[in-house]
Chain A
């Protein structure tokens, strides 16, 4: 038995500690995930105005501020009984699309890839073979020779005096890197790692143009948007969005399909709680949760291999409860966030007692995985109507499974989605979905502007009441609850995506989704537990 602690878990947004017990059979027998930062957003917003919550609450996350901002404005609009104009719906959807593309590209190449791709291995690639391989894999080429030189110069200059910058003490040559993955594929991935830095910035520029700036945007105020598109701005948005979409379709998806066959064992573990929640994201004209282009839904005890648990329920925010028995709070446990409290109270870190700043959030008292896998599963099993030209989650998942089956020479079943590999693949396939939707939405907005009868903002008065904004950030379900009294916020409660996934144990001692995904995972090297960090990062926490 060995206790393995990863603290800090790096290459994520925020601060996370992962502690696992590795049994004699070299698999994880128990796991504790601890959110180690408390910033007190909910207390800061209390007694301020509902209009201010949009600006402040999005600062919870510098990678997904758009989604938090949207959840906040939807919460106010829900409180006031306000529907935003169609122009604002389109503008918000496009900004959100850009953030999804930005975030998923960033996760795969900048954060996640180093767990599967070894930059040092790339140095032994044959350049001519790299071009051949890129062509065979159907992915884009780059100046592979120049990239190899750049990496080699960087490594040599850095090795000489321990100045390897962000690559210092990385697990180069770890046996968990697929031994049979050719050096040329490592080099392709490194080249695209560098290119991805440009693409994420291009996506961020779309958010900037329509949102004022990114990170932390300015335009999706309660009632609509402050952004009034002009022909020039729409041209600019379409041009940049097209470049991002091309990268997703012609580089990121082929790269995923090229690398995945070397890591098929990752389809054998890491599934977790097998309950999936999505509030839904990208509003259709009806604004109904289940009509969203990635629809809202709840799936319980899904077992795709057995074909059970396939029913998708419509999501209901009153079924959410937050437990604090194992978290550093002394407020009442088991409250719905509409009546929630946040009263922080630190006591010593103890995995048998309290061990996280995260509350144990539950739906119908069950832990729920949130994120791209949940959304793609809900979209697969309970599809909504999509704009023309947008491939459905089912189209994309079936396409990927067919391609992978070809590469593996064996049928890869749908059940492979419920795994570490499935969670990573679902994110990239979702990027392809959003890529289609982004272009369709920009073209719809162009048509809306051409028709001339535009409206971007619904004037309104602040009204007292209770409301909730339900939405999805790239990394999962986000909801903001507010109570307005006398024009001020009497209460503001946020359940962020990572709150769901890194939830600690609840009142019954049931582990949270990431904890469950870790339990049962193999650990090749307890000193350098690559499988552990892969699983933790696969949630994009």
Chain B
């Protein structure tokens, strides 16, 4: 790329007080999230640089039955000065929560985008199908009336957050609001637009930025403006990027060493917690939750759940096409080792053997370890102890 072509981007970066070094570091972290080697960093940088010369890519952010938490989460990006430069390469002409326009003017912005097509559709929240779609009304009609066209004409759909992926907590039974994910909605309407699912509640903003780079600037879209096969190949059976959702939290947990040693927190705020012991006994869903939270972390990388002594509740568990796969039905009761087994819509029973409540003693470490390994689907018999790794133990609990 010619030097002068970079000038546009670098003047934008400079206006934010960002150096080229910051920018390349950012490209490096995107490469890591996308599973690309360091040799790809210059290509990412060049792709972003050349995108800065072109008109902004049209995008549409639609809030379904949402709490706005995923929008909020986007405001908590790491290295925000650089990341927002990338996000500014999008023109999000419709974004209810933060857009300047309102009412008909806002609706017109959406209609203009829909007419042109070829935009990236970001969907936040649950698709509300209850009461013939009247569980969510926008501009005087059910949102489900406008959704088929908006989805059909999109180049790609990013489902951000567990609600958008499979309905999230709104889909938890029994709920007359009848929430589903955007992928199920598209299936129901025979819409073939490719969908990238990014669960957790809310979505982790770092993943969204990485996917924007991948889809828009690294050849994720083919010449017809549709998602290329190369990108589809990077997704798992649930439409999630394999690199981000391929390992469990347990795999990468800094407290893992304590798990291996059988050192558990049995009561919140206890001496064991002060030592940063493993939260398995108080219900941590890390072993059966496939996200890279311990690595990417949250809030500009300042923190993550387990570091604050909180057991993972598995908010990243989402099953796009399965009713009842949502993280609440799968994970609750969150402080117990095992889920309640539903007998009917209103009656549940807790598997007795491994039940543990707050403040009570949990089942033996060997037993729980075995259950966790089973839940993660990695083995079918008992669980052999892994060797203690010094490197894990050193990290214990971030203290």
Contact = CB atoms under 8 A, between A and B. Distances in A.
Nearest to B308: A212
Contacts of A394: none
Contacts of B136: 15, 36-38
A197 interface: yes
A56 B298 CA distance: 19
Interface residues of A, number: 105
Nearest to B312: A218
Contacts of A346: 131-132, 134-135
B377 interface: no
B76 A204 contact: yes
Contact of B70 (A62, A154, A160, A201): A62
Contacts of B98: 10-11, 110-111, 166
A149 interface: yes
Interface stretch (B25-33, B269-277, B367-375): B269-277
B335 A51 contact: yes
Given A9-B103, A40-B170, A455-B269, A166 B176 contact: no
Contact of A218 (B14, B91, B128, B310): B310
B101 A59 contact: no
A227 B209 CA distance: 30
B230 interface: no
A7 B170 CA distance: 23
Contact of B16 (A40, A150, A157, A227): A150
A146 interface: yes
Given A39-B135, A39-B177, A62 B72 contact: yes
B333 interface: yes
29 contacts: A7-B138, A8-B107, A9-B103, A11-B99, A11-B100, A12-B97, A15-B63, A37-B65, A40-B130, A44-B172, A56-B169, A59-B69, A61-B67, A63-B68, A65-B69, A146-B15, A150-B16, A165-B91, A201-B76, A205-B302, A208-B302, A212-B308, A212-B310, A213-B303, A223-B359, A226-B309, A227-B309, A228-B274, A344-B177
Interface in B76-94: 76-77, 80, 88, 90-94
A14 B69 CA distance: 10
Contacts of B128: 37-39
B304 A228 contact: no
B15 A10 contact: no
Interface string A1-22: 0000111111111110100000
Interface of B: 11-12, 14-17, 55-56, 58, 63, 65-73, 75-77, 80, 88, 90-103, 105-109, 112, 126, 128, 130-132, 134-140, 168-170, 172-177, 179, 201-202, 267-270, 273-274, 298-300, 302-311, 313, 315, 328, 332-335, 346-348, 357-359, 399
Contacts of A205: 76, 299-300, 302-303
A157 B55 CA distance: 7
Contacts of B15: 146-147, 149-150, 153
A38 B128 CA distance: 8
A41 B126 CA distance: 13
Given A62-B66, A344-B177, A455-B269, A171 B298 contact: no
Minimum-distance CB pairs A-B, first 8: A62-B69, A456-B269, A170-B100, A457-B269, A218-B310, A208-B299, A163-B91, A459-B359
Contacts of B88: 154, 165
Contact of A228 (B77, B105, B269): B269
